[in-house]
């Protein structure tokens, strides 16, 4: 039986969704406030215009789906440090404005970091965890901090370099972590041929992307094949598999059913739903992504 959950990341201190509405969201990342487009904010803003005008920067989209530029209204450091409390320590990582409107962290995914860290911490062995489409490495660092051996895979050299910088900032350089720049599907296929097994898998696939050698990724076409290949890399008693999907017209039900098919020979529970952020101004919930999560 699959449960449906609105999952909040409620332990942030360095991030807040201050307000949203009229297709925009106003957020605090550390000491800076940013205004970004948010198509799902179909209601009116709760805060006065003056609060929005006081933002440090506004993202101005271009005609491309994720393109555009930041319009700085106040001085913003090229990079600044953010923190997230995890178990008895904290993750430290660099944030920065990027041409793709993101800042190096998806705050809503922290709900998965807590879940992973707890699962790994309670395990009676050192789990082997695979993070595909790992971006700036925060999920990888959460797993490593909790006691896992981690393999982080991303097609972008820049993202992997950023992730390694975050590893040093979090003082996790001595943890067993591998950093791989490669197409996710090709990597999993090679690991399966080698007989490598993983106890936990994290997937945060983009809607569309390209691998280091021009490999094309389209989530609707590519995800089912990738899940099938991952099945061969799972250990006999896996701890968890987590899928988070952004910017697609997929229901959490569809993602959950795909994951349920992948995990049918393993005994566990399946949870699915939406990653949501609670707004400070009017206590509204803003849906950020759909997810499915299997756990032993």
Please report the DSSP string for 89-112 in residue order: EEEEEEE---TTS--S--GGGHHH
Residue 243 CA to residue 233 CA, distance in Å, equals 16
Domains of the chain: 2-11+79-295 (3.40.50.150), 15-72 (2.60.40.1180)
Contact call for residues 132 and 200 (beta carbons, < 8 A): no
Residue 87 CA to residue 143 CA, distance in Å, equals 11
Q: What is the pLDDT of residues 13-67, one digit of tens each?
A: 999 999 999 999 999 999 999 999 999 999 999 999 999 999 999 999 987 666 8
Q: What is the pLDDT of residues 260-286, one digit of tens each?
A: 999 999 999 999 999 999 999 999 999
Residue of 200 and 252 predicted with greater confidence: 200
Contact call for residues 33 and 11 (beta carbons, < 8 A): no
220 pLDDT tier (thresholds 50, 70, 90): confident
Identify any residues that bridge with 273 across adjacent strands, giving them in sequence order.
5, 291
What SS3 class is residue 144?
helix
Neighbour-count burial of 221, counting CB atoms closer than 10 A to its CB (0-12 exposed, 13-18 middle, 19+ buried): exposed
Contact call for residues 270 and 293 (beta carbons, < 8 A): yes
Residue 79 sits at the vertex; the CA angle it makes with 113 and 183, to the nearest 5 degrees, is 55
């Amino acid at each position: 039986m699959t449960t449906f959950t609105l999952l909040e990341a409620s332990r942030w201190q360095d991030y807040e969704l201050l307000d949203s509405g009229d297709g925009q969201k106003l957020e605090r990342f550390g000491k800076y406030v940013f205004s970004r487009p948010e198509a799902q904010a179909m209601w009116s803003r709760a805060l006065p215009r003056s609060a929005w005008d006081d933002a440090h920067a506004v993202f101005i989209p271009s005609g491309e789906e994720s393109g555009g530029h930041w319009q700085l209204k106040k001085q913003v450091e090229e990079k600044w440090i953010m923190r997230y409390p995890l178990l008895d320590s904290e993750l430290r990582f660099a944030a920065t404005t990027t041409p793709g409107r993101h800042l190096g962290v998806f705050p809503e995914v922290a709900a998965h970091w807590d879940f992973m860290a707890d699962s790994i911490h309670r395990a009676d062995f050192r789990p082997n965890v695979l993070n595909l489409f790992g971006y700036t490495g925060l999920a990888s660092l959460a797993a490593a901090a909790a006691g896992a051996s981690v393999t982080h895979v991303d097609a972008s050299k820049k993202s992997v370099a950023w992730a390694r910088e975050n590893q040093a900032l979090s003082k996790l350089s001595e943890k067993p972590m591998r950093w791989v720049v490669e197409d996710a599907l090709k990597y999993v296929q090679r690991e399966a041929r080698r007989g490598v097994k993983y106890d936990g898998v994290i997937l945060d696939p983009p809607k569309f992307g390209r691998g280091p050698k021009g490999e094309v990724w389209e989530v609707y076409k590519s995800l089912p094949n990738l899940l099938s290949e991952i099945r061969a890399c799972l250990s006999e008693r896996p701890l968890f598999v987590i899928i988070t999907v952004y910017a697609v017209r997929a229901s959490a039900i569809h993602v959950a059913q795909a994951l349920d098919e992948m995990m049918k020979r393993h005994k566990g529970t399946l949870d699915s739903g939406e990653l949501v952020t609670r707004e400070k101004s009017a206590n509204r919930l803003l849906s950020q992504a759909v997810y499915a999560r299997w756990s032993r």
